[in-house]
Amino acid sequence: MFKNRKITTLILLSAVCYLSSNLYAADSKTGTTTASFLKIETGARPTAMGGAFAAVSDDLNALYYNPAGLAQLDSRAFSAVHTLWLQSINHDYVAFGFPITLMDNKLAFGIHAVYLGVDDIDRRTSAGVSDGQAKVADLAVAGTVAWQLRDTTNLGFTVKGIRMAMDKSQDNGFALDAGILEKLPDNLAVGLMVQNLGPKMDVSGTKEKLPTNLKAGLSYRMFNNNLLLATDVDFPNDRNMRFHGGAEYRFNKLFALRTGYEDVNSPGNSSGFTAGISVNEDYIDEILNVKMQFDYAWMSFGELGSTHRIEIGIKF
């Protein structure tokens, strides 16, 4: 059994090296991809942990960070997230997932939708004269399937439908995510996924690539699983390698505190730091008899400002 785990881990690490080398075959080019809203992180919990979640993914946040982790769901779950993004940009996310057992195989299915909207953009003519207001509205709707190959290995796949609209122009497209999550001895886990594989899209007169990204992560649990440490490395096709690191500590049934850091490439000494808190579902269940959890995440972009995420999750 342990030998098989070592083999799986070796395969994962080899895949990281191979895929990352291919992503860097062409020089990293900032601003050369479209559908940038797909790069905005979703859930409050992983955001508060600096976006380090590929090897955790033990809740609905797996739909974004590693679809393989969705197979860890133990009940039906729903979550809704509202993000107060920079420059009055609205970013909203809803997700639903449920596990099933089919012919002794543990499966999980999920759907989610993410929307980014910007209103009241000043439209101007080529002469610089004001020409009313424009609007940006980006939407992605996705379906995910994950299954547990064995006690230590999960696989998952996501198919996304994408619609981008900018003023009077729009385009439709699709993308695929795929991930694997492997649990190792001594409370370690490793995760690997690729995000946004798909054809180019054209919403501004030029066909541009989707923001494809390879994500690899490692997590470690200690102190009776109350402390969770995690780190991720991203290999995007439109910028340099990106690091994430975070921690979560759960205080009994009451609440959890989280903090982290990720490379957001923004000016300012505080850029990239994250923090958050949650009121755990077990505590709320004792009071209201409802398995509900509240999460909040703060993320600094230095001189550009901060973002705030509020999430409500329900299990039933």
Domain count, the chain: 1
34 located within any domain: no
Of 163-172, 232-241, 271-280, the range with the lowest mean pLDDT is: 163-172
State the distance between the two ends of the chain, measured CA to CA, in whole angstroms: 35
Position 232 pLDDT exceeds 50 = yes
Residue 96's DSSP bridge partners are 78, 111
224 located within any domain: yes
pLDDT class of 239 with cuts at 50, 70, 90: confident
pLDDT class of 240 with cuts at 50, 70, 90: confident
Question: Range of 47's domain?
Answer: 2-26+41-315
Q: How far apart are CA 224 and CA 282, in angstroms?
A: 17
Q: Comparing C-alpha atoms, which of 93, 56, 75 is closest to residue 310? A: 93
Side chain identity at residue 129, one-letter code: V
* Residue-wise pLDDT tens digits, 104-152: 789 999 999 999 987 766 655 555 555 566 677 899 999 999 999 888 9
261 located within any domain: yes
36 located within any domain: no
The average pLDDT across 287-295 equals 80
33 located within any domain: no
Q: How many residues does the chain have?
A: 316
Residue 209's DSSP bridge partners are 33
CATH number of the domain within which 227 lies? 2.40.160.60
169 located within any domain: yes
142 located within any domain: yes
Question: Backbone phi, then psi, for 181, in 5-degree steps?
Answer: -130, 125
* Residue-wise pLDDT tens digits, 252-287: 778 899 999 998 877 666 788 999 999 877 666 666
189 located within any domain: yes
Structure-token match 């991809």, residue found: 33
- For residue 146, the model assigns a pLDDT of 97
- Write down the mean pLDDT value for the chain: 85
Q: How far apart are CA 307 and CA 168, in angstroms?
A: 29
